[in-house]
Structure 1
């Protein structure tokens, strides 16, 4: 069984610094409306970035193996928080946007589906506490 260790240290006020197995650090902070200075990532929003990053890494790798690379790719994640504490994401929508002059829709669909259903562990974690909706957008770039 593989394990990760992340150490998060309180710096001051509402700011924390967290390390990562990659050796890179990031800062988290609350917004001014919650007593912070807004000088770092918000923890819940960082979860959405993790979801997009996990799936995005899968999709890029799969498209490369399928010889279906694209010129541009982005993922937009929109999430809804519950009203009561502890507030958590109960609805999440993941929009995959692909741009290219020669899009390969079937391969793109297959890559996204494999990420969503088989490879992305963060996606699987989200499914345990949220309804997750997926949509793919293909944007043709004129040659």
Structure 2
């Protein structure tokens, strides 16, 4: 990837899907920590979705909510990300969802990349 400085503030990169704007100020682009949290949450959610499909569980929709704890005293470091899944579907046994969450955690490359530096927790509810 190549990042080019923007005249105002921040950087851009051109990807096959489009141009991505990244800046410390939300007025000019996505903040780096937002991209990090989004990457971890959506990677985990994508892996979970695949696992549920392989288990032939009927999932109509998944919404992911995140809560982030940052440490202002240490450069606003991301210390904890809690991922909460709202899962909508038919005949979804809680035990199988819990097992699937554990598998997703073990198989999500983004979660595994930060496992020793950021605490990542998950929860879910069936809607």
TM-score interval, normalised by the smaller of the two chains: 0.7 to 0.9
Q: Contact conserved, 2:80 with 2:118, CA < 8 A, in 1?
A: yes
Unaligned runs of 5+ in 1: 1-5, 32-36
Unaligned runs of 5+ in 2: none
CA distance in 2, matches of 1:41, 1:83: 19
1:128 counterpart SS class: coil
Q: Contact conserved, 1:75 with 1:94, CA < 8 A, in 2?
A: yes
- TM value normalised by structure 1: 0.78
- TM value normalised by structure 2: 0.87
Bigger strand fraction:
2
Q: Could you tell me how far 1:108 is from its partner in structure 2?
A: 1.8
Match of 1:13 in 2: 8
5 Å-filtered alignment, 1:3-82, equals: 6-20=1-15, 23-24=16-17, 25-31=19-25, 38-82=27-71
Match of 2:83 in 1: 94
Structure number with greater CO (CA < 8 Å, separation at least 6) is 2
2:98 counterpart SS class: helix
